[in-house]
């Protein structure tokens, strides 16, 4: 899971990144700051207590903080091609919007639309370049796949030219597999963080309610005070509890954003256990057992035979595998079994 923190100059995105990483950072020209966050999971903690493995591995979220994005940056190439390429590799964007006084008017919707338009322009350039290459091949024999790609890209271009991001184009739900490699910016899932002053947090519900009316309904929005959260992240653990109580912070921003990212990307975790390792593996909800096995290793998916399966809740309730087998809850599942959140899996694979 790879999340890019984006926003305009002065929105507080680097402060939010520091709150997530717990490290004071300073972006260097041409370089993104990157951190890897363990996803807290009480199930893995409990299983590690039981198995006492040599290694405990949580699901992980990679977060990157990139350069500020302003109107016209893509066209003027202020944002480098390398940065755009790295952004395309991400799974989702975390857009930080400024809701505090810095001498300029607060305009949540305007900032949001500026970012979207920059992404749209980048995607238009990408598609036009690809269509030009296809056109130059017109003298050669066009295969079915190339014709299908051309038709799909033309539909995408028409949608973008109408000012709409590709996230709102149904093509990708109908038949977008052959476009997967393009990794269009305006197609990626987006989460919005409204960065408030401490004094505005109490009135943030109304702010968010008004803002939601101006953006697509599928985009989730939360409010934070990045400055407070960054201070909290840099504190020693014994100081954090009193600080959170003083400012009414129920959960750290890292925890909130991790849950938000899992929900936005439709992720769940299956678990593997043993003396060597207890580990959480994030996968897309709805994935079958054979595809889930690939998260562990490609060979396990290619040579998949069966998956030994039991739910975490049953495992704990019945005191382990023996109790689950006695109750008939330990089972062997085939390739098409849809993995559920909290399933403990052991993959059987051929040689």
Q: Is the pLDDT of residue 141 over 70?
A: no
**Structural domain contains residue 305:** yes
149, containing H or E segment: helix 144-161
The pLDDT of residue 29? 60
Q: How does pLDDT run across 19-38, given as a tens digit for each residue?
A: 998 877 665 665 688 999 99
Structural domain harbouring 342: 286-349
% of the chain beyond a pLDDT of 90: 69
The pLDDT of residue 258? 94
12 in Cβ contact with 226 (< 8 Å): yes
What average pLDDT does the segment 52-57 reach?
Answer: 96
**Structural domain contains residue 316:** yes
349 in Cβ contact with 293 (< 8 Å): yes
294 in Cβ contact with 279 (< 8 Å): no
Identify the residue with better confidence: 162 or 75: 162
Q: Is the pLDDT of residue 119 over 70?
A: yes
Q: Is the pLDDT of residue 139 over 70?
A: no
The pLDDT of residue 244? 84
Q: What mean pLDDT value characterizes the chain?
A: 91
The pLDDT of residue 25? 67
Q: Which of 73-82, 134-143, 297-306 has the lowest mean pLDDT?
A: 134-143
Q: Which two tokens stand for residue 279?
A: 């580990």
Nearest CA to 195 out of 215, 225, 220, 232 is that of 225
**Structural domain contains residue 124:** no
Domain tally for the chain? 1
Q: How does pLDDT run across 312-323, given as a tens digit for each residue?
A: 999 999 999 999
Distance CA 130, CA 181 (A): 12
Sign of CA dihedral 93, 98, 103, 106: positive
Q: How does pLDDT run across 163-177, given as a tens digit for each residue?
A: 999 999 988 877 767
**Structural domain contains residue 70:** no
The pLDDT of residue 345? 97
289 in Cβ contact with 304 (< 8 Å): yes
Q: Is the pLDDT of residue 147 over 90?
A: no
Per-residue pLDDT band at 245 (split at 50, 70, 90)? confident
Per-residue pLDDT band at 142 (split at 50, 70, 90)? low
Q: What is the CATH number of the domain that holds 328?
A: 3.10.20.30
Annotate 314-345 with b (16+ C-beta within 10 A) or e (fewer).
ebbebeebebbeeeebbeebeeebebeebbbb
The pLDDT of residue 208? 83
DSSP 8-state assignment for residue 249: -
Distance CA 155, CA 123 (A): 13
**Cα–Cα distance list, 101 to 11, 106, 115 (Å):** 10, 7, 20
DSSP 8-state assignment for residue 251: S
The pLDDT of residue 138? 67
Provide the angle, in degrees to the nearest 10, between the axes of the packed helices 253-265 and 13-21.
Answer: 100
Per-residue pLDDT band at 200 (split at 50, 70, 90)? confident
**Structural domain contains residue 259:** no
What average pLDDT does the segment 89-104 reach?
Answer: 92
């Amino acid at each position: 899971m790879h999340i890019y923190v984006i926003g305009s100059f002065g929105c507080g995105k680097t402060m939010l990144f520091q709150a997530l990483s717990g490290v004071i950072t300073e972006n260097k020209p041409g370089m993104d700051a990157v951190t890897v966050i363990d996803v807290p999971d009480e199930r893995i903690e409990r299983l590690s207590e039981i198995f006492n493995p040599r290694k405990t591995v949580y699901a992980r979220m990679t977060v990157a903080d990139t350069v500020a994005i302003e109107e016209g940056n893509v066209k003027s190439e202020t944002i480098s091609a390398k940065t755009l390429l790295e952004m395309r590799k991400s799974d989702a964007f975390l857009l930080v919007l400024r809701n505090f006084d810095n001498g300029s008017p607060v305009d949540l919707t305007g900032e949001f639309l500026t970012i979207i338009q920059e992404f749209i322009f980048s995607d238009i350039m990408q598609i036009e370049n690809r269509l030009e290459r296809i056109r130059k091949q017109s003298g050669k024999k066009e295969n079915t796949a190339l014709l299908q790609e051309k038709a799909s890209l033309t539909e995408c271009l028409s949608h973008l030219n109408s000012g709409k991001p590709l996230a709102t184009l149904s093509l990708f739900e109908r038949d977008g597999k052959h476009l997967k490699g393009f990794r269009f910016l305006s197609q990626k899932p987006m989460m919005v963080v409204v960065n408030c002053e401490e004094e505005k947090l109490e009135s943030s519900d109304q702010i968010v309610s008004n803002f939601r009316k101006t953006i697509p309904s599928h985009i989730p929005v939360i409010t934070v005070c990045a400055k407070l959260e960054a201070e909290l992240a840099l504190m020693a653990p014994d100081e954090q509890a009193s600080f959170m109580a003083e400012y009414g912070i129920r959960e750290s921003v890292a925890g909130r954003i991790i849950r938000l990212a899992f929900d936005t990307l439709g992720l769940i975790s299956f678990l593997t256990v043993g003396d060597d390792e207890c580990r959480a593996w994030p996968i897309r909800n709805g994935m079958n057992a054979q595809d889930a096995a690939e998260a562990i290793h490609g060979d396990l998916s290619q040579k998949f035979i069966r998956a030994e399966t039991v739910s975490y809740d049953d495992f704990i309730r019945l005191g382990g595998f023996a109790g689950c087998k006695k109750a008939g809850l330990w089972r062997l599942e085939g390739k098409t079994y849809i993995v559920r959140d909290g399933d403990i899996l052991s993959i059987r694979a051929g040689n």
